[in-house]
Amino acid sequence: MYHSVDHPTADPYNITVSRRRLEEQLRWLRDRGLRGVSLGEMLAAHAAGRSAGLVGLTFDDGYTDFLTGAVPLLHRYDCTATVFVLPGLLGGFNDWDPLGPRKPLLTGHGVRAVAAAGMEVGSHGMYHRSLRGLRETDLRAELEESRDRLADICGTPPAGFCYPYGDVDEAAVAMAREVGYDYACSINPGPLTGRWALPRAHVGQRDTAARLWAKRVLHPLRRRAVTVTGGSETGSRPPRARGAAGAGPYRAGGRPPAMPYGTDVPAAPPPPADPPRLAVPQPAADPAPVAVTEAAGDRGRQAAPQSRRTAGGARRGAGRPRDAGASAGAPARPDGATVRAAGAVVARAAAAPADGGTALPGHDGPPADAADRGHPVRQRGDL
């Protein structure tokens, strides 16, 4: 599974392979007795029992560089390939890749030139939309309308379909069969693997000979074997009922008229983006601390409920009892001595004796007797 054949610069999606690397990979196939062919040719050879040594080559998205870069190399190594194009975006650009470089897509004339060069043309949907979970009306438009438009361009309807992004579900598989495709491709379809959900391995610029050998060995181990005979598949599941028709680029009775033969279709606007998420309300901030005032004559107040630690880590008991004579005859400090604690102003009036300091509620500073000893009282906010 290839995409673009160009200079692989600024390519975060790893969809570009240089012409030199593609030639090395085609030479690697030839040196091992393998030959790259289109999927239609490979499936026909498989049905006739002549598929030994054939490798299916696909190029997704229908870039212009497939005609200018890949086709000459495919002819040089006697290979063919399938290119999956977007008839709703002919002559446009790969706007579905927001981070990658803008690459031009084939026009109607380019699609006919690719077919005339012996390559198979398949459908990649109308607008490179993911088909997983689409409503029936939109799903049918992507698969059936794209097939009809390619039939107008090439003269015959395409046999193959490729699910954009590799996204596939049972409804998409059933629709691909219903509208008349002979096969369809995905990447890792899992339990849906079958003729209308063929697995493929990505090939990029970093795939040297060693990596190609590893992918060839691991491919049958990672994916369930597919049995395809004629127009049926072994072990296929019955079609699943699809959802009701709904809104989309195509509505009931609103399908665009048939495109004249070879006419390029202007690029359509991308599907609307998901609505922005609503802001999640944040919890209200804690209220500002309230100023606490200690009355000058309140000598019997309670100590702080929790023990405090000084800056050096020493524990001071919040509820340590005072001496028996502390409540009688002790000189009181003048009213108005203040300290700052947690943003609140605490007026301290009642002082304790030098040997029985007590921490104030909500205050992590030194004990009350520090001021009596002549030491300045400092708080974290004063540093």
Of the chain, the percentage scoring pLDDT greater than 70 comes to 57
- Decide if pLDDT at 361 tops 80: no
Per the CB < 8 A criterion, the answer to whether 16 and 59 are in contact is no
Position 244 scores a pLDDT of 30
Question: In this model, does residue 167 exceed pLDDT 90?
Answer: yes
Token pair, residue 104, equals 């031009």
Q: pLDDT tens for residues 304-337?
A: 444 444 444 444 444 444 444 444 444 444 454 4
pLDDT averaged over every residue in the chain: 73
Helices (H), 186-263: 209-222
Residue closest to 197 by CA, chosen among 146, 233, 159: 233
Beta carbons of 134 and 144 less than 8 angstroms apart: no
Decide which of 319 and 273 is more confident.
Answer: 273
CA torsion through residues 150, 151, 156, 159, sign: positive
What pLDDT score does 224 carry?
56
Pick from 163, 181, 188, 170: nearest CA to 43: 181
> Is residue 48's pLDDT more than 80?
yes
pTM over 0.85: no
Beta carbons of 365 and 379 less than 8 angstroms apart: yes
Q: How many CB atoms lie within 10 A of CB 75?
A: 13
Better-predicted residue by pLDDT, 220 or 3: 3
* Contact status, residue 194 vs residue 233, Cβ threshold 8 Å: yes
